[in-house]
Structure 1
Amino acid sequence: MTFTQKQLKEISEECVQKIMNAREGIEYFDEPFRHLVIDNFLEQELARVCLQSFPSLDEPGWEASNDSDIEIKYRTTWSSEFDIPEGIIDAVRILNCGPLIKAMGDRIGIPKLIPDPYFTGGGLNVTTKGGLLDVHVDGNYHDATSLNRRVNAILYLNQDWLPEYGGEFGLYDQNGDICLKKVLPIFNRLVVFDSNDFSFHGLPSPLSCPKGMSRKSIILYYYTKEPRPGHQIAVNEPHSALWKKRNMLDKRGNKVRNFT
């Protein structure tokens, strides 16, 4: 199905309202860090088209992470919107449109958010049976723009996902030791959260879904010119993802990284 500009604008306006009207304790939460969980986020047909358009792992444009203790998954290597598959680009356009970004910033309390036209680290994610993502905090700096990472958005596209498959998005305490909440990655569920040096998250237990099934999502990141407030900073210099199982170092064993 092809959506017209008018239809996409109407869908985006509905999505904006879902974010702005997120109710405290139901769709919006302060603990363990600020986040939104909104079900049936996209219009159902658009969400269905996204899933149908999800490329196979046999197709080009994927990179695999296979660090057995911290990260086993696949993600796309988009460098611009022209890399995004037909059928998925409309959802990305909605998630990156001005009114929706403003609504996210207003509701989660981080104004003046900016999307990433480079899709650095963003795009499609797939975790297959046995895959995992250790507890971590995300990188804080965008090399191409010198902007500061502030918000992550994840749209899940998993139909008929059962709790026994695992793969819940885990939110942890500020030390990354205790999982305080788990969010099942069900179809058309949007998760938005405040990304900082204490917003530990992950899915550290290997996925136990049936063979041939996988955990699919669209992940986008948002930035600000303004730095994170001091109470959200543990590492002042630019850093990559820092992993609990690596004693809060990145994949290369560093606390900070070179940047331009």
Structure 2
Amino acid sequence: MLDLINPEVLKNRERYGSRFRSADPFPHVVIDQFFSPTFCEQLIAEFPPFERGANLNEDGLPGGKSTVEDIRSLGETYVLADDLFRSAEFSSLMSDVTGIPDLLYDQLYVGGGTHENRPGQELDPHVDFNYHPHHGWHRRLNLIVYLNREWEVEWGGSIEFHEDPWGPPEQNRIERVVPLANRAILFETSERSWHGFEVIRQPQNHPPISRKSLAIYMYTKDRPPADTAPSHATVYVERPLPFVLRAGDSTEAQGARVRKALTRRIEHVARLQERERAFSEKIITQVRKLFSSTKSLGQPEIEMLEGLFRREDVLLKLLYDREKEFSRDIEWLQHRVADRQLGLPVIGRAKLATAPEGYYPNDEWCAPLLTLDLKLSAPSKAMVFHGRVPHRFPQGQTLECTIRDRSESAHFNPGEFDWKVPAAMAAGERASVQIRASESICPASADSSSKDMRNLAYQLHSVEVA
């Protein structure tokens, strides 16, 4: 099966091994021309269409990423690739390069297989889950082979290896590698293998691009105790402020990105809180079993319970301290911007001709019916509504947008949304836009302590006319 690998790779496995072990910020190696040229071309030619893979986002709508884990279903070339990956010879080659013995192939391709990402997609720095979800094996290696015949640095999408994304941005050394065809990235999966990729940018006057790759992950039944950590899911780190505030961009664009970055963090915290509740329920179940016997607790049990209490007390104190910090920041911001009037940001080729109806600029909420009157400064093809459905609408929100008597509808689950609606218009034209929402709430009706009598449906950050 190794005849599918470039003979130069086989001949130079020791040299690649030396690079792997000495690499910073963690063991990895870049191998160009990994497959034989003919086999790589076959993989590119038979790469599945975007619609063939799992491509729905959290709203149940087609998103910007598509994956296929069952690569044997993709045709003869991908059957050969799978046969290669499952062979003892391939595992031996990976062990020779990395120094990790007894590597195991994952026939389920959990998280692996073919990956395709369209412009606008990015992947925050993260370390991967560390145990196979079904077999309990230790995750040890990631192998990614890119399948893009053409790629420029300016297009983004380069894989990033981070030293420590939790630390100050200026101290986080980052190595970037462009995802060119037949370039393989092999890296150790550990508690310090922080990696991600830059946002993909569609080049102007160029056919549509997408970032394509084939990924496999390898495991072992054991791992050195010093490198073994308790089981965890993938750990993500949000992008820092210097990355969000891009120099040279308009204040409106910077503001939209900052709001989106803050909202992502808030939703990230909410997801972790849900997992915290699930862990806590498991702990309580096990504690009930601990006390189901009349046998007295021993010192190990008492020390474990003391640790549980300490951890919860630390979290309680942190949450109370955060309340004080939130109050301080709110007071500072209110003083700083007291004399500023807010409006709905309109970005791109139009401006508001009159004030919106049904929009509350102080907190970006919209009424069940929003009406906008826009004047075009240049020809347009579409409008993109950047907003958010708050989690107080657990079933999501259905929106209907009418632009010049043409209507489009979409359903959004709780979270951020970027809704693109066709809007072909000429420069100088005026467009009346109405958005109707299927659901609304009155805060005062839901909470007797609230004095907010508004009917609220969703939040709208900005409107982009392109």
Taking structure 1 as the reference length, the TM-score comes to 0.80
1:46 paired with 2:42, answer no
Bigger Cα Rg = 2
In structure 2, do the counterparts of structure 1 residues 107 and 239 end up closer, same or farther at CA, with 3 Å as the change threshold?
A: same
In 2, are the aligned partners of 1:158 and 1:215 still within 8 Å (CA)? yes
Aligned with 1:45: secondary structure? helix
Aligned to 2:129: 139
The CA distance in 1 between the partners of 2:277 and 2:219, in whole Å, is 19
**Runs of 4+, deviation exceeding 6 Å:** 255-258
Unaligned 5+ runs, structure 1 = 1-7
1:74 paired with 2:66, answer yes
Q: Which one of the candidate residues 172, 189, 195 is aligned to 2:183?
A: 189
Q: Which one of the candidate residues 72, 77, 86 is aligned to 2:76?
A: 86
In 1, are the aligned partners of 2:132 and 2:139 still within 8 Å (CA)? yes
1:11 paired with 2:4, answer yes
The CA distance in 1 between the partners of 2:129 and 2:236, in whole Å, is 11
Query: Quick one: which amino acid aligns to residue 129 of structure 2?
Result: G
Q: In terms of mean alpha carbon deviation, does 152-161 or 221-230 score higher?
A: 221-230
The CA distance in 1 between the partners of 2:80 and 2:119, in whole Å, is 29
In structure 2, do the counterparts of structure 1 residues 220 and 111 end up closer, same or farther at CA, with 3 Å as the change threshold?
A: same
Q: CA deviation at 1:113?
A: 0.7
The CA distance in 2 between the partners of 1:17 and 1:255, in whole Å, is 49
Aligned to 1:151: 141
The CA distance in 2 between the partners of 1:96 and 1:250, in whole Å, is 39
Q: CA deviation at 1:12?
A: 4.1
1:223 paired with 2:223, answer no
The CA distance in 1 between the partners of 2:145 and 2:134, in whole Å, is 25
The CA distance in 2 between the partners of 1:256 and 1:53, in whole Å, is 44
In 1, are the aligned partners of 2:2 and 2:89 still within 8 Å (CA)? no
Cα deviation code 1:174-201 (max 9, x no counterpart): 4555242101110100110000111100
In structure 2, do the counterparts of structure 1 residues 146 and 90 end up closer, same or farther at CA, with 3 Å as the change threshold?
A: same
Aligned to 2:158: 168
The CA distance in 2 between the partners of 1:187 and 1:251, in whole Å, is 38
Q: Which one of the candidate residues 173, 194, 202 is aligned to 1:200?
A: 194
The CA distance in 1 between the partners of 2:89 and 2:39, in whole Å, is 19
Aligned to 2:49: 56
Unaligned 5+ runs, structure 2 = 239-264, 280-466
Cα deviation code 1:28-81 (max 9, x no counterpart): 64211111110011110100000000011122x3234569xxx96322242xx5
Q: CA deviation at 1:229?
A: 4.0
In 1, are the aligned partners of 2:72 and 2:78 still within 8 Å (CA)? no
Aligned to 1:110: 100
Q: CA deviation at 1:153?
A: 0.2
Normalized per residue, which structure has more helix?
2
Q: In terms of mean alpha carbon deviation, does 41-50 or 166-175 score higher?
A: 166-175
The CA distance in 2 between the partners of 1:243 and 1:182, in whole Å, is 18
In 1, are the aligned partners of 2:155 and 2:200 still within 8 Å (CA)? yes
Q: Matched residues, percent identical?
A: 27
Aligned residues: 240
The CA distance in 2 between the partners of 1:29 and 1:91, in whole Å, is 29
Aligned with 1:139: secondary structure? coil
Query: Quick one: which amino acid aligns to residue 108 of structure 2?
Result: Y
The CA distance in 2 between the partners of 1:255 and 1:29, in whole Å, is 38
1:101 paired with 2:74, answer no
Q: Which one of the candidate residues 117, 120, 123 is aligned to 2:113?
A: 123
Cα deviation code 1:199-258 (max 9, x no counterpart): 10001x32113462100000100000003542x45x51x2221101269x7994247988
The CA distance in 1 between the partners of 2:221 and 2:17, in whole Å, is 28
In 1, are the aligned partners of 2:139 and 2:220 still within 8 Å (CA)? yes
Q: CA deviation at 1:20?
A: 3.8
Where relative contact order (Cα < 8 A, 6+ residues apart) is larger, the structure is 1
In 2, are the aligned partners of 1:132 and 1:207 still within 8 Å (CA)? yes
The CA distance in 2 between the partners of 1:172 and 1:208, in whole Å, is 21
The CA distance in 2 between the partners of 1:111 and 1:49, in whole Å, is 31
In structure 2, do the counterparts of structure 1 residues 191 and 200 end up closer, same or farther at CA, with 3 Å as the change threshold?
A: same
Cα deviation code 1:78-108 (max 9, x no counterpart): 2xx5434332232333233222222222321
In structure 2, do the counterparts of structure 1 residues 141 and 106 end up closer, same or farther at CA, with 3 Å as the change threshold?
A: same
Q: CA deviation at 1:125?
A: 0.6
In 1, are the aligned partners of 2:6 and 2:36 still within 8 Å (CA)? no
Query: Quick one: which amino acid aligns to residue 223 of structure 2?
Result: P
Query: Quick one: which amino acid aligns to residue 193 of structure 1?
Result: F
In 2, are the aligned partners of 1:76 and 1:123 still within 8 Å (CA)? yes
In 1, are the aligned partners of 2:5 and 2:34 still within 8 Å (CA)? no
The CA distance in 2 between the partners of 1:38 and 1:251, in whole Å, is 40
Aligned with 1:134: secondary structure? strand
